[in-house]
A = this chain, B = another copy of it.
Amino acid sequence: MGKGLKKREEDFSSWYNELVSKADLAEHSDVRGCMIIKPYGFAIWENMKAELDRMFKETGHQNAYFPLFIPKSYLSKEADHVEGFAKECAVVTHYRLKNSEDGKGVVVDPDAKLEEELIVRPTSETIIWNSYKNWIQSYRDLPILINQWANVVRWEMRTRLFLRTSEFLWQEGHTAHATKLEAIDETEKMLGIYAQFAEEFMAMPVLKGLKTENERFAGALETYCIESLMQDGKALQAGTSHFLGQNFAKAFDVTFADSNGKSQHVWATSWGVSTRLMGALIMTHSDDLGLVLPPKLAPIHVAIVPIYKGEEQLIEISKVANEISTKLKQRNIKVKFDDDDKRKPGWKFAEYEMKGVPLRIAIGPRDLENGTVELARRDTLEKLSVNRLGLEDKIESLLQEIQDNLFDKAKLFTNENTRKADSIEGLIKILDEKGGFVLAHWDGTKETELKIKDKTKATIRCVLLDADNEIGKCIYSGKPSEKRVVFARAY
């Protein structure tokens, strides 16, 4: 298999699929819609997890673990929730197999039918609130600030690695509060954490906003989201934080005695990000040579490739490479010295480019003589000859520079691809010709949003939290509007 990728310009979708495969991130399994996350892809996800987990814990959250299975009846308890989640899901109906009569394998044992079917969790509000019922009696038991890292399953007909798979990995926070205000604060705080993570670690600029009723989480009173713009001009929802009001508390009868001894229903939030972030990361930064990773999430920061003829040269170069490695590791910089003799330098260069390693060091006999190394940046593809003296400082500052540069580049792209439209035709024209985010007036009704979606294939990504007040007319109905909302075609 050649290492080259389709060009993004030619076919963004094929480019993405080829990159995921050739950078060894993930692959389809034989099980419909389920992916295998390969070690290199998983290492990136682990870095994401570690940072998010740290941020959750720093804001007072604790991890726990709830069952994979949800009794079917639980899903029906919250009316909106069941509409949203009880449809395409994996249903466990039996708990035993037996040898088939023809002796060729196993069959489901009809005697082992469950009394009530179990659903593989598509999200865990129901099973968690059913537990919170027993955990909460008084205001002293609140707040409960719990997160869980888990796998979830939503049966998807059309799947794409990381972006939409039947099984995916995620974290889901589920918090319980004594007051509405505190729950809203929590919802907004977690949105802030997602935005901070996206921008600081993924180097991915995001818009923060509210979903319209239409796009809201099933069971939420308000869904906050972060949205980011991919290089093909399509938007991607990167994380959501839901203010659930008292819906789940009422559905599962979760009340507490307040400080006056009065019984009240508990207020709830839930919030999650998933392996979908891997897709967002790829489509934000990568190029036609492969993956481009922000240093803060890269499993390898620096790859060192020796350029040599014969074992003697390799020994000399290895000495220098190992010295550099040791010094870099002392600064928590992750280095790989690739002295594999079976591969040529050119192959290795292409490999580390494909895998998005932020910096590459090449060391040849000339470098030994001159006390230099050749340093190549993955983001700009620049090469520079650098003195070994002070190399560690240089690398440390370059990694920060790359991190910043990736963010700035993506930010510029987002800004350049955020436009205004004042008519439905204008919206369609921008979407067809440029893509991107389009700010337009909307009358605030579900009907109009759906009509616009029908005509344009674009949805309202969000109502920006910091939207300017601007009097205008809905581009579809002509009715008055007080601010523009963000339209885009989306993943």
Contact = CB atoms under 8 A, between A and B. Distances in A.
Interface stretch (A91-99, A194-202, A287-295): A91-99
A91 B88 contact: no
6 contacts: A43-B63, A69-B90, A76-B106, A91-B95, A108-B117, A151-B151
Given A42-B65, A117-B108, A140-B342, A96 B87 contact: yes
A96 B27 CA distance: 25
A488 B87 CA distance: 49
Contacts of A130: 30
A440 interface: no
A96 B89 contact: yes
Interface stretch (A33-41, A359-367, A456-464): A33-41
A88 B93 contact: no
Most B CB within 10 A of own CB, among A35, A95, A104: A95
A interface majority secondary structure: strand
B108 A68 contact: no
A139 B37 CA distance: 23
A167 B118 CA distance: 13
B87 A91 contact: no
Given A43-B62, A63-B42, A118 B90 contact: yes
A70 interface: yes
Contacts of A62: 39, 42-43
A76 B92 contact: no
Contact of A106 (B86, B140, B167): B86
Given A29-B127, A76-B105, A64 B38 contact: yes
Nearest to A119: B97
Contact of A69 (B31, B46, B117, B342): B31
Contacts of A86: 97, 106
Nearest to A106: B86
Given A39-B62, A72-B97, A106-B72, A92 B67 contact: no
A205 B308 CA distance: 51
A66 interface: yes
A76 B64 CA distance: 35
A64 B87 contact: no
Contacts of A75: 97, 106
Given A106-B75, A127-B31, A36 B95 contact: no
Given A31-B71, A64-B42, A88 B95 contact: yes
A338 B62 CA distance: 17
A395 interface: no
B34 A69 contact: yes
A373 B127 CA distance: 45
Given A89-B97, A95-B155, 5 more contacts: A29-B131, A34-B69, A36-B131, A46-B63, A151-B151
Contacts of A66: 29, 36
A73 B93 CA distance: 18
A57 B341 CA distance: 24
A93 B119 CA distance: 11
Nearest to A151: B68
Given A64-B39, A106-B75, A70 B31 contact: yes
A167 B37 contact: no
A252 to B, nearest CB: 11
